[in-house]
Amino acid sequence: MLNQVLDVILEFLPIWAACYGINLFLYFATGWVLVAIQNRHPERRIQQNRRGEKRQAKEIRQSVISLLVTTGCLAGGIFLSLKGWTLVPPLELSWLSAIGMFIVSVLAFDTWFYWGHRLMHTKLFYRFHALHHQSVAPTVWSTYSDDLVDAFVMQSYYLFAVIVLPIPVEVLIVHRLWDHFNGTIGHSGFEFYASPLSRIPSPMVCVTFHDQHHAKFRYNYANFFSFWDRVCGTIAPNYDDEVKRFEALGKGEAVPAASGATEPRKTSVPAGE
């Protein structure tokens, strides 16, 4: 029995190592590219009076550690699927199944993320989420700056989804890649993506959406879409107006001051940058 367990562990570890190495490379590569772009456009900084870059070293150290959990969940999902240890087998890969299951997976993940995120904001679990919220003004380095429990709660979708959804491994990997780029851009603190597609009636969001979550704490819990926040009344009251403001900036129009800029941040977490 012990030998069988060791064989499983030895079979799993290379998958985990590969996932970790690729994600770690993407963390730094994506971050450096975005920082180079942002440095050329200081006017696009969302929170003009804060500099989250002051926390860069701490966030990078924590991210290098927490990525072990995030990639462990992804590697676990891949491993379970490859071994056939799921309740449903993955669909045979085709253009139809790939596109269809990608859409299903993204929608399922956004639901998982919203309610898991709400859970992490409760009194019982917030102690595991507080580290991430020390980044009041998030940057590209904040994306994975999580407590290990927090990382598992939010990212274990990749471990459990394959058990109940017929997601091909390739689709799961593409979903995770999209989640990486979406999360890094969403934490970047610079708005380049404001458009009518990122405000009502569209369910899509832009960088301002998650930036407001860090700045105001009790709004905008979802990841890819604003649907759950709008339905549950947790959308930031000035989100759509802020999107319009950055739209005007992108068009070179006169831009009014940020609405709600002086609203106090409703959290007991020590203020950070």
pLDDT digits (tens, 9 = 90+) for 7-20: 899 999 999 999 99
* Span 205-216, average pLDDT: 97
Which residues, listed in sequence order, are joined to residue 190 by a DSSP beta bridge?
Answer: 45
Which residues have C-beta within 8 Å of that of residue 119, sequence separation ≥ 6? 125, 153
pLDDT recorded at residue 252: 64
According to DSSP, residue 133 is labeled G
In this structure, the dihedral spanned by the alpha carbons of residues 219, 129, 20 and 17, taken in order and rounded to 10 degrees, is: -140
pLDDT of 203 higher than 80: yes
Which of the listed ranges 174-178, 214-218, 268-272 does the model predict with the highest average pLDDT? 174-178
Using pLDDT thresholds of 50, 70 and 90, give the confidence band for residue 251: confident
Which residues, listed in sequence order, are joined to residue 45 by a DSSP beta bridge?
Answer: 190
Give the separation between CA 82 and CA 91, rounded to whole angstroms: 12
- CA distances 141 to 50, 129, 169, 189, 258, Å, are 15, 16, 28, 10, 24
Stated pTM of the model = 0.91
pLDDT recorded at residue 12: 97
pLDDT recorded at residue 4: 85
- Phi, psi dihedral angles at 45 (to 5 degrees): -65, 130
pLDDT digits (tens, 9 = 90+) for 170-179: 999 999 999 9
